[in-house]
Amino acid sequence: MKALSFHQPRAEQVVRGEKRMDIRTWQVSYRGVLAVHASSVRRDARCRALGYDPDALAYGALIGTVQVVDIVPLDKAAYEALRGEHLLDEPFPSASSGHRPGPPCYGWRLADPQRFDTPLPYRGRMRLFEVNLDAVETTRRVVSTYQVVPPPEPDPQRPFVLYAVPEEEGGYRVALYQWMQRNGEQEKRAPGAFWGIELGGDPLRAVADHLLAALRANDYKATDLARAAGAGGAERPAAPFYLDELSGLRLALILTAVKPLTRHDRIEAIGQGVQAMSAEEAYYWFSKCSAGPGASRAQKALRILLADE
């Protein structure tokens, strides 16, 4: 399937059906279904200016589909007349102004938006790019519902479960889950029903030391993670790593807080700050950041506290 990347909140506007035309300086002959990719680049001020909570939006993920029904050239008059469809507030500049959109200018007419139930993490590309949606969905479904061999074995002493999930284009991301516990017994169900997070790319590489520290604290070797990532593939992920509550909780806090960040200095500041927390502080912040309607605000507060984000 063809895919196209949009900055937020434009991607969100597309899948909501609010943005019915996209402005590009190039055109293609393709018409048909298009996967909507939300860029990993955050523009928090722009999101707020347009009335969106930037922490509530998806980034670096496929979030739905839309139909490209036509691509038409636009002059200044047409651009102005169609503002209610493309929703851009920039003027139509001259070619010499150096701004976009500008000549040449094409309006991509969009229709029939469909939102995915869950964003599918995926690395975007420039212009149109190909995505195997079935393979991406299979990887997400396999990890999220634990259709793996061998299956996880709940351990009350180590309630956090870490998977190394191979990426389609090489490398891997990690998926960290916390198991449900009721009446003193570990419940045998997908831990994603309680809490979970996935992280890959540059943010994961930036917190690699903290990830390996959590593994070492649970008697795993530093080489085990890379070996696991290459062992199974999307159809058969390798056995997970089990982490004790405190080391799993600290890692969970780090992954949650750094996920939307790009600056390595801020990512490192958060990692160091979480590791320096007392157990009581770590439990407090995890309870605030992992559940409830205020979780996104708590995550933002944690980033401000530790990294002035």
Where do the domains of the chain lie, and which CATH numbers do they carry?
A: 2-131 (2.30.130.30), 146-307 (no CATH)
Among all chains, which residue has been given the structure tokens 């434009």?
10
User: 89 or 273, which is more confident?
Assistant: 273
Q: Read out DSSP for 146-197?
A: T--SSPP---TT--EEEEEEE-TTSSEEEEEEE--EETTEE--S-GGGTEEE
Q: What pLDDT is recorded for position 144?
A: 43
- Residue 95, pLDDT score: 52
How far apart are alpha carbons 71 and 271 in whole angstroms?
A: 46
Q: What is the mean pLDDT of residues 31-52?
A: 88
Quick one: pLDDT at residue 164? 83
- Region of residue 97 (left: phi > 0; alpha: psi -120 to 50; beta: else): alpha
Please give the average per-residue pLDDT across 272-279, as a whole number: 94
CA distance 127 to 75: 22
What pLDDT, in 10s, does the model give residues 173-195? 888 887 654 444 444 333 333 46
Q: Provide the percentage of residues in the chain whose pLDDT is more than 90.
A: 27
Tell me the pLDDT tens digit for each residue of 92-108.
765 544 445 456 888 99
